[in-house]
């Protein structure tokens, strides 16, 4: 079923199948929960860092997005060094047709407990239009059980599809223009370097403290 899923999402993202206007996209939005609560605490969204951390970063990313790949190591480093950041991943596949493959596979890897492994493997592949096969090679090299992955992609197709649609609707609801997009506490921002993430995290904590 992955092919069908892919096509459906491609229509939704307005990627290659642009002949169909994006009426579906807003229709989807109506069904997806775009509340602040679900943006921050969607139980289905992969979470990394400290799940009980005092600051939440929500990262809307695409595996064909160059600046996502560029800022990924800096974000990972800041989350690791800080130790108290809760990082929520939102796969938002909008850049190229194969983005949806990457998002689907990464989310499927969650069922074998390896979302983050898959995420970093896919972020580590340079380039803007990474072919599906190259993504699969990267995942396999990173130690993802590919048979299990394919099985989960079939069995959990509806769940994965729902997460992606929800993420898309949420990104639209926030009004993001493109990827990467980060919510850092009360702030929204895009590509940052290591120092930029650190400053933003510090400011976000300060703002949160003032708010209380």
Partner 1 sequence: MPSRTIWSVLVAVLMIAIAAISTPASAQVTSTGGMPLPVDQAFQLSATREGDEGVRLQWTIASGYYLYHDKFGVTQGASDLAMPELQGNGQSKDDPTFGPSTVFHDHVAAVVPLGASASGPLEVHYQGCQDNGICYPPIVRHVDVTTLAVTDPQQRAPATQAHEWTAPISGAPALASGVTIAADNGGLIGSLLKDGGVAMVLASFLMFGVLLAFTPCVFPMYPILAGAIARQGDSVTAVRGFNLSLAYVLAMATAFGLLGVVAAWSGQNLQMALQSPLAIGAVSILFVILALSMFGLFELQLPSAWVNAIGRIGQGDRGSLASAALLGFTSALIVGPCVTAPLAGALIYIAQTGDVALGAASLFALGLGKGIPLIAFGTLGPKALPKAGAWMTSVRQAFGFVFVATAIWMVSRLIPAEAALALWALFAIGLAVWLGAFDSLGPDAPGRRRTAKAAGIAAALYGIVLAVGAASGANDPFRPLSNLTANTRGGAGSAQALAFRNAATPAELRTGLAAGNGKPSLLYVTADWCITCAVIDRSILSDPAVQSTLARFNLIKLDVSANTPDQRQIMQSLQVVGPPTMIFVGPEGQEATGTRLVGDVTKATLWASVERTGLVQ
Q: Which stretch in 14-22, 83-91, 112-120, 140-148 sits in contact with partner 1 by CB under 8 A? A: 14-22
Rounded to the nearest 5 degrees, what angle is found at the Cα of 74, between the Cα atoms of 76 and 212? 70
**87: alpha, beta or left? (left if phi > 0; alpha if psi -120 to 50):** beta
2 binds partner 1 (CB under 8 A): no
Sign of CA dihedral 139, 69, 178, 57: positive
* Listed ranges 64-72, 108-116, 133-141, 144-152: which one lies at the site for partner 1 (CB under 8 A): 64-72
How many C-beta atoms surround the C-beta of residue 40 within 10 A? 14
Strand partners, 58: 88, 183
Residues within window 121-140 making contact with partner 1, judged by CB under 8 A: 126-128
Give the residue with the Cβ less far from partner 1, 6 or 96. 96
Instruction: Tell me the closest approach of the beta carbon of residue 151 to partner 1, in angstroms.
Output: 30
Residues forming the site for partner 1 (CB under 8 A): 13-15, 18-19, 21-23, 25-26, 29, 34-36, 39, 62, 65-67, 69-70, 94-96, 126-128, 169-170, 172-175, 177-181, 183-184, 186-193, 195-196, 199-204
């Amino acid at each position: 079923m992955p092919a069908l899923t892919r096509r459906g999402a491609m229509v939704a993202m307005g990627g290659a199948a642009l002949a169909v206007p994006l009426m579906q996209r807003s229709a989807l939005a109506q069904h997806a929960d775009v509340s602040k609560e679900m943006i921050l605490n969607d139980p289905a969204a992969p979470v990394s860092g400290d799940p009980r951390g005092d600051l939440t970063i929500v990262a809307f990313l695409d595996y064909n997005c160059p600046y996502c790949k560029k800022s990924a190591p800096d974000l990972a480093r800041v989350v690791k060094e800080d130790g108290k950041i809760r990082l929520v991943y939102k796969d938002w596949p909008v850049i190229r047709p194969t983005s949806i493959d990457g998002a689907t596979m990464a989310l499927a890897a969650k069922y074998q407990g390896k979302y983050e492994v898959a995420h970093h493997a896919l972020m580590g592949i340079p380039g803007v239009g990474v072919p599906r096969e190259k993504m699969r090679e990267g995942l396999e090299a990173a130690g993802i059980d590919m048979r299990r992955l394919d099985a989960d992609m079939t069995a959990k197709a509806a769940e994965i599809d729902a997460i992606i649609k929800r993420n898309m609707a949420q990104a639209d609801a926030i009004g993001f223009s493109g990827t990467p997009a980060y919510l850092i506490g009360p702030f929204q921002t895009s590509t940052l370097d290591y120092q930029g993430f650190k400053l933003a995290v510090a400011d976000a904590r300060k703002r949160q403290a003032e708010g209380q």
